[in-house]
Every structure is written in structure tokens, then in C-alpha cells.
Amino acid sequence: MIEDDDRIRMSLGLALEDEGYTVRAVATAEEGMASQRQEPADTVLVDLMLPGIDGFECIRQLRRDGDVPIIVVSARDDTHDVVAALEAGADDYVIKPVAVKELSARLRALRRRARPVAVAPQIMVFNGLEIRPQAGEVLLHGNQLSLTRTEFRLLCELAEHAGLVLSRQQLLERVWEYDYGDERLVDVHIGRLRQKIEDNSATPQRLLTVRGLGYKLQR
């Protein structure tokens, strides 16, 4: 939910949570778009009158980034606004003050229609190494490898940030979901992963150690 009025944001958020929704609420379009990029929501509720980037522009940008369902929740009841918002890419438009039951019903109706998502990076390729997160497959020079779950998740994590160094701590958090723990554990699994994805040359070609910092997957 992108809504700059604190009172409305709070009360509407709580009301929707009562209806069984999980709500993430922010006050500006900038925050909303960042949040959506970070961790996409199923549906976006957006006000039109926002400080900074306004609702219309926000809708256009959200629409450009993906096809998340968007409902405008606005106090403006002018037909021009409705038309403009829908043209910008919104899916529905309700006028404040809004009955939560109605909003909830419209959310359900919209989600019935929404495409069964289609997020997910399809395939990533790095110098002979092909990763298909969806299919749970990794191919090296076209041959399918059999990775363990941990190896697979570790590789995906590195691949998603290919070229960037990830610290052992970051990897522990993201792959193992440990907040603390022995960082050497990462080393062991990197080693095992290397045996499978490197071509037996003396020095690693793909999965590089950055001494003192962590590991990275070569682009």
C-alpha cells in the first residue's frame, strides 16, 4: 500500500490485515517502487496524491516493471482521474472513504484475473554454465549436473549477484538462513560446488575466491 496519510495508512492496513491480507505499507511512491522491486507484492494499492512522484507516474513505472495488479484508492472522484489512472495501467479505482469489505472483494476479484505470476529469472548462463532455477537444473557444457540442495541454492545466490563479491556472512544468511554460525561452513560447500562446476583446472575459472572478502561468480 502506497498512501501518504498516516492515519489512513494505519487504519486501512490494519483493516486489511483483519481480512487476512499481509500488508506492507509505505508513504511515498519512491519507497513503494523500491519495495516492489526488492520483494514484489501480489497486489499494489496506491493513492494518487503523493508527495514527490505522484500516483499516475508511480502506476506507469510499476506497470513498466511488471504486471502486478494495481488498485487506485483515491479521494478524487473525478471521471478524468479515473480514466487517467486506468489508462496509466491501473486495474481498478475505488474512492475514499472506502468500505473495507468492498476493497477486499475487489482485491479478490482482481487476483482471480491476475496472471499466475511469471516472475523468476528463466535461465542464466556463465561461460558454459547454465542455471535454470525453475527447473532445478544446472548444466555444464550441456551436461546436467547433480547438485545437492545446498549447492544449488548457493550457486543461485551467487549467480543472482554474478560479478559481485558476497561475504560468507551474507551467504550464510541467504542460503542457510543462519544469522550467525561458522563461516568456514561456506568454504566447505564452495569446495564441493567447485568440484562440480569447474573444469578440473588448477585455479578456479568460475567460482572465485576474493581473499578476505568472500566469493563471487565470474560473469
User: By the 8 A CB rule, do 88 and 64 touch?
Assistant: no
> 32 vs 133, which CB is nearer to a copy of itself?
133
Amino acid at residue number 109:
A
Residues 6+ apart with CB under 8 A from 30: 52, 53
The interface partner of residue 56, options being a copy of itself, DNA, none and the CB cut-off 5 to 8 Å by kind, is none
Q: Helical H runs in the chain?
A: 6-18, 29-38, 55-65, 79-88, 100-113, 149-160, 168-171, 184-197
> 26 vs 162, which CB is nearer to a copy of itself?
162
> 189 vs 206, which CB is nearer to DNA?
189
Contacts to a copy of itself from residues 31-90, by CB under 8 A: 69, 79, 82-83, 86-87, 90
Site for DNA contains 216 (CB under 7 A): no
User: By the 8 A CB rule, do 144 and 137 touch?
Assistant: yes
By rule CB under 8 A, what string of x and - marks binding of each residue 186-215 to a copy of itself? ------------------------xxxxx-
| 121: preceding bond cis by omega (within 30 degrees) | no
Chain residues that interact with a copy of itself, rule: CB under 8 A:
69, 79, 82-83, 86-87, 90-93, 99, 101-102, 104-106, 108-110, 112-115, 134-136, 148-150, 152, 163-165, 210-214, 216
